[in-house]
Amino acid sequence: MTYGIDLELHENVAEVGGRVSGEVRRPAQPADSSDPVRALRLTLYCKTSGRGDEDEFIASKVELPAADDGAFYNRFELVVPSAGPISYDGRLIRVSWAVEARLDVKLKRDLKVHKPVLVVPLGGVAVYDRPHPLQ
Amino acid sequence: MLPAGSVVLTPKVAGRFASGGALVAVAVAAAVALVTGAWVVAGIAAALLASGCFLLRETLVAMYRWSDPELVLPGEALAIGGAIDLLYRRRSRGLIDVSKSHVTCVLSCQERATYRQGTTSTTDTADVFEHGYSGSASGTPWGFEAYISVEVPIDAGAPTFDLGNNEVRWRIETSVDGTNMPADSHSFDVTVAPVLAEQMRGVQDS
Amino acid sequence: MIFDRYEHVGLRHNPFAVVDHQSELAEDLFVDRGLAPPPPPGSSTLVQLIGAKGMGKTTHVHHWRRAAPGPYHYVPFEPYRQRWSRPPIGPIVYADEIDRMPHLVRSNWFRRAAAARSTLVAGTHVDLELQAQRSGLAVVAHHLGPVDHETLAVMVDRRLCLAALSPNGDRFAFSAVELEQVLARSRGVLRIAEGLCHELLAEHVR
C-alpha cells in the first residue's frame, strides 16, 4: 500500500475498445488526521517516451467522493478508446498506458499511485505478444 | 463491381504531375528564352528538355497510355496479422496486351518522432518494417488489374497513430513490371487499425 | 507479474531521448571536449563555435552560459522576419545560429558589442572572424568536428549511468563493436549517434 492507497487491477491487459477494471481502497484515517481528502480521481492515461517530445492524454476518468473519515472502497471501470493507440515499444517511440489513482488532498500536494496497463489490439488478448513495453 | 465496404485509394502524389511538371517548366523556360533572343539559354533549356524527355520516355509513355492507378482495399483500414487481398487497377487508352506482367506492392511502416529545441523542430524517422508482395496482372476491357495478397505483421510496427509529436505511418509503394506496362511507381498511405485479423483470432480460440 | 523492459536491463528508461539544452540534465550529460572556456565578461571578444549541424555548438553555448549567465539570443530559420530582431548587448551575451542574421544586423551588433566591450559567445555554421574584427572585436574560434570513439564512449556511458536503476548494480553497456558501428554510421555527428543508440538499445530490450 502506497500513501494509504491500495490500487488493484483485475487484469493488467485490456483490448482497445475494452475496459480496465479494478478496485481501489484506502482505510479510514484517524480523527486527528491532517490530510482532509476531497476526492479520489482515477484516470487511464497514455504517454509516449523516446526520441520525440512527449505526448500525453487522458483516455477516461472517474471521480469518487471521499467518506468523512477519508476511507475509500470502490470498484471502477475505465474505458480504453477503440482507436488506441496500443502499447508499443519501437525503435524511436514507446507508447505506455497506466491507471493513476490520485487523492485530492486539501491544501497539500496530491498523493498518487500508478499501475501499468498493457493495451493490445482488438482480439489480441493472449495472442498479441510484441512489441510492447512490458513483459 | 466492388464488394460493399471497399475503399478506393489514389496515390499520394500523382506521377504524371511530378515528372510532367518538371518538363513543362523547362519547356516554358526554353520558349521564353527563344522569344527574348537569349539563344544560349534557349539552347541549354532545349538540350535539358530533350535529355529529360529521353530519360523519362517510359514515364511519359505511361502517362499518356495509362491513368494513375487505384488501390482498392476491403475496408477503411487493414487489420493486423492474416492475409488481406488488395486490388491494383489502371485504365488504359485502347487495348494493351498485359500478359506476363506483375504488380509489386511494398508494405512499409515508419516511426516518426518530432522534437523541438528552441524554435527548431526536427523529426527523426525509423523504418521498422518493409516487405514486398506481388501479383499477376490480368487484362480487362478498360485496362488491367492485379490482386495482391499482403500481410500486416503482428510483431513489427504498430497500428497507425498520430499523437502530434509521435507518429506511426504505413505506406504501400506499387510498381509494375512487364512489356507494355507503365514504368512508374506510386505511393499510397494506408491505415492499419488496432484490430487483429479474424484468422488470428481463430488461432487464439483454438 | 509484468515489468518494464528497460528495468529488466537495469535502466529506468531509454536514456538516449533528446534532452532540452537548458535543463539541468543537459549539464549532467555534458562531455568536455577540451575547449578553452570563454574570456570573462567585458573582454570585447567574439567566441565562435563553428561547426555543422549536430556537432555540439548549442550544447557548448548552454554549458558556458550555465557557468557565467547572460542573455541568450537565438536566430530562427523561420519566420524570416525574426532574423531581423535586435540581439542584446551586455557584459556577456550568448547566441546561436548567428550566421542566419542579415549581414547588416550582425555588423551593427558586433559594433555595439565592441563599443560596450561585450563578450559574445555564439554558435555559427560559418567563420565570421573577418566581419567581427572589422567591427572592433577580438576573435576566438573553436571548430567542432566529428567526435572520436573515446568521446562517444564517454557520452554513451554517462547517459547509461544516469538512467541506471542502481548506481552500483549491473548496468547495460554496448559492446565495443556496436559503438564502432554507431560511430561509423553517424560519421561522428553526436545528434545522429544519440538517435542510433536509442534504436540500438530499443532493439536490445525487445
pLDDT over 60 at A11, yes or no: yes
Residues B131, B191: one domain?
yes
Residues B170, B189: one domain?
yes
pLDDT tens per residue across span C135-191: 999 999 999 999 999 999 999 999 999 999 887 777 789 999 999 999 999 999 988
> Mean per-residue pLDDT for A22-31?
83
Asked if residue B83 belongs to a domain, the reply is: yes
Residues B58, B144: one domain?
no
Output DSSP code: residue C37: P
**Reduced 3-state DSSP string for chain A:** CECCEEEEECCCEEECCCEEEEEEEECCCCCCCCCCEEEEEEEEEEEEEECCCCCEEEEEEEEEECCCCCCEEEEEEEECCCCCCCCEECCCEEEEEEEEEEEEECCCCCEEEEEEEEEECECCCCCCCCCCCEC
Report residue C3 as a C-alpha cell: 515489468
Task: Name the pLDDT band for A29 (thresholds 50, 70, 90).
Answer: confident
Q: Which of C99, C118, C143 is the last residue of a domain?
A: C143
pLDDT tens per residue across span B137-187: 888 877 888 999 999 998 889 999 999 999 999 999 999 888 777 778 899
pLDDT over 90 at B27, yes or no: no
Q: Give the ipTM of the model, two decimals please.
A: 0.86
- For chain C, positions 144-203, list CB contacts with chain B under 8 A: 195, 199
Task: Name the pLDDT band for C1 (thresholds 50, 70, 90).
Answer: low
Q: Which of A12, A50, A133 sits opposite C198 (nearest CB)?
A: A50
Residues C195, C157: one domain?
yes
Residues B119, C76: C-beta atoms closer than 8 Å: yes
Asked if residue B2 belongs to a domain, the reply is: no
Residues B73, B58: one domain?
no
> Mean per-residue pLDDT for A65-74?
78
Residues C49, C138: one domain?
yes
DSSP labels, B127-140? EEEEEEEEEEEEEE
Domain with C103 in it: what CATH number? 3.40.50.300
Residues C82, C122: one domain?
yes
Residues C50, C128: one domain?
yes
On whether the CB atoms of residues A48 and A54 are closer than 8 A, the answer is yes
Number of domains composing chain B = 2
Residues C18, C59: one domain?
no
Residues C152, C125: one domain?
no
Q: Which pLDDT belongs to residue A128?
A: 67
Domain with B187 in it: what CATH number? 2.60.40.640
On whether the CB atoms of residues C115 and C90 are closer than 8 A, the answer is no
Mutate to test the interface with A, among C2, C13, C190, C198 (most CBs of A within 10 A): C2
Residues C120, C57: one domain?
yes
Residues B120, C76: C-beta atoms closer than 8 Å: yes
Q: Give residue C75's domain range.
A: 45-143
Residues B120, C20: C-beta atoms closer than 8 Å: no
Mean of per-residue pLDDT scores for chain B? 84
Task: Name the pLDDT band for C53 (thresholds 50, 70, 90).
Answer: confident
Residues B56, B70: one domain?
no
Residues B75, B138: one domain?
yes
Number of domains composing chain C = 2
How far is the C-alpha of B197 from the C-alpha of B78, rounded, in Å? 8
**Residue C185 identity:** R
List C-alpha distances in Å: A129 to A46, B133, B155, C174: 19, 25, 8, 26
Residue of A nearest to C2 (CA): A135
Residues B50, B130: one domain?
no
Query: What SS3 class is residue C73?
Result: strand
Q: Give residue B113's domain range.
A: 7-12+66-205
Asked if residue B189 belongs to a domain, the reply is: yes
Residues B101, B152: one domain?
yes
> Which has the closest alpha carbon to B169: B107, B110, B108?
B110
Asked if residue C39 belongs to a domain, the reply is: no
On whether the CB atoms of residues A123 and B195 are closer than 8 A, the answer is yes
List C-alpha distances in Å: C70 to B134, C47, C62: 62, 14, 10
Please give the domain boundaries of chain A with CATH numbers for all domains: 6-120 (2.60.40.640)
Residues C73, C127: one domain?
yes
Asked if residue B155 belongs to a domain, the reply is: yes
Query: Cis bond leading into A85, ω under 30°?
Result: yes
pLDDT tens per residue across span C22-45: 888 888 889 889 999 999 999 999
List C-alpha distances in Å: C124 to B115, C71, C97, C137: 21, 17, 5, 16
Residues A51, C198: C-beta atoms closer than 8 Å: yes
Instruction: State how far residue C48 is from chain A, nearest Cα, in angstroms.
Output: 29
Asked if residue B184 belongs to a domain, the reply is: yes
Residues C195, A92: C-beta atoms closer than 8 Å: yes
